[in-house]
Amino acid sequence: MSDHMPVLGLETLTSLDLRIQAVQRIAAGQWWNFRRVISPFSRLWLILDGRATVRQEGQRFDLRSGILHLVPAFTEHDCFCRRYFDHYHLHFTARLPAGIDLFSLIRCDAQLPAPPQALAWFQRLDAIYPDRKLPCFDPFREEYQEFPARMEQTRRDAPPAQWLEAQGLLRLLVAPYLASASGLEGVHARVTQRFLAVQVYIHEHMHEPIALSHLAHVAGLNPTYFSDRFNELVGVRPLAYLARRRMERAQYLLATTPAAVKEIAYAVGLPDPAHFSRMFSRLCGHSPSEYRDTHGSRPSA
């Protein structure tokens, strides 16, 4: 496999659903210092001036002028500024058919040189969506945590021509990350089109019991061979992959809805709330309640 092979087919990418959650310019100072941040949205920063640092996936990155930096959805990260940091930020989702997050399928560079037109693109997106601003910049404050659910409820899209323009600009910003992709690696790893069908099946049937035999049938393979091949290509066994996808869905629901933990457990195919909570704590590092207290919406009464 080439280090820079195309990893997703054109047919799949034409169905990519891109949505802008927030876009604005921020001049940060020493207050921009946050640890263990996890968002259900991807973040793209265009650094204009000053310096800051972000740690993600075991790496430390220097944020400086002329850089585009990507933090994919559900990626835990630390970020801090020692003095001054002027940047545009963009919160967005990039979902393939059946809701699969684009960046869960590819391993790409976190940092790239910003295209010469990047500032103009961000400024234009800011002009198209002047109302899509974060209520504050501290991801642990209540108003920030409630922002995703409130945005979903009050979203007003731009007129058709401006919406189409915004889609084009966002695709221009995302495209260099696809060009840098070295394969489908990491937790989600290198996935062939056959295994992409398995991922679609997982997304569509996540609320149901799913056995290894079900996934092997979707792939058209013997269960033992399927499990071995999936582990070879993806880096984890199929049921471990399924567990991770379930927990990511649970994180999204905890962050964006007021559904009770028991309801979320059912929604991700784990009807025993105690088992769900143990799995969530093991894979996400927090209990569901702790995660919601830090990142999510208030539960319904």
- Beta bridge pairs of residue 92: 20, 42
Cβ count within 10 A of residue 35: 12
Q: Please give the Cα distance from 128 to 124 (Å, whole number).
A: 6
For residue 97, being part of any structural domain is answered with: yes
User: What single-letter amino acid sits at 139?
Assistant: P
C-alpha angle 156/101/121, rounded to 5°?
A: 55
Q: Please give the Cα distance from 91 to 109 (Å, whole number).
A: 18
Q: Are residues 29 and 122 in the same domain?
A: yes
Q: Are residues 156 and 201 in the same domain?
A: no
Q: Are residues 26 and 171 in the same domain?
A: yes
Query: Is the pLDDT confidence value at 88 over 60?
Result: yes
pLDDT for 71? 95
Whether the Cβ atoms of residue 291 and residue 285 lie closer than 8 Å to each other: no
CATH code of the domain containing 37: 2.60.120.10
Average pLDDT, the chain: 83
pTM over 0.75: no
For residue 64, being part of any structural domain is answered with: yes
For residue 256, being part of any structural domain is answered with: yes
For residue 40, being part of any structural domain is answered with: yes
Q: Are residues 48 and 151 in the same domain?
A: yes
Q: What is the mean pLDDT of residues 107-134?
A: 93
pLDDT for 12? 63
Cβ count within 10 A of residue 231: 15
Q: Are residues 198 and 152 in the same domain?
A: no
pLDDT in tens, 154-193: 566 778 999 999 999 999 999 999 888 754 444 343 445 5
How many helices and strands (H and E) does the chain possess? 12, 8
Q: Which residue has the tokens 């820079």?
A: 4
- Number of domains present in the structure of the chain: 2
Q: Are residues 174 and 200 in the same domain?
A: no
Q: Are residues 105 and 146 in the same domain?
A: yes
pLDDT for 3? 37
pLDDT for 147? 67
What is the DSSP secondary-structure string of 249-300?
Answer: HHHHHHHH----HHHHHHHTT---HHHHHHHHHHHHSS-HHHHHHHHSPPPP
Q: Please give the Cα distance from 216 to 198 (Å, whole number).
A: 8
- For 101, the domain range is 10-179
pLDDT for 6? 38
Q: What is the mean pLDDT of residues 60-78?
A: 93
Q: Please give the Cα distance from 28 to 227 (Å, whole number).
A: 47
Pairing relation of β-strands 59-64 and 85-95? unpaired
Q: Are residues 134 and 28 in the same domain?
A: yes
CATH code of the domain containing 212: 1.10.10.60
Q: Are residues 210 and 265 in the same domain?
A: yes
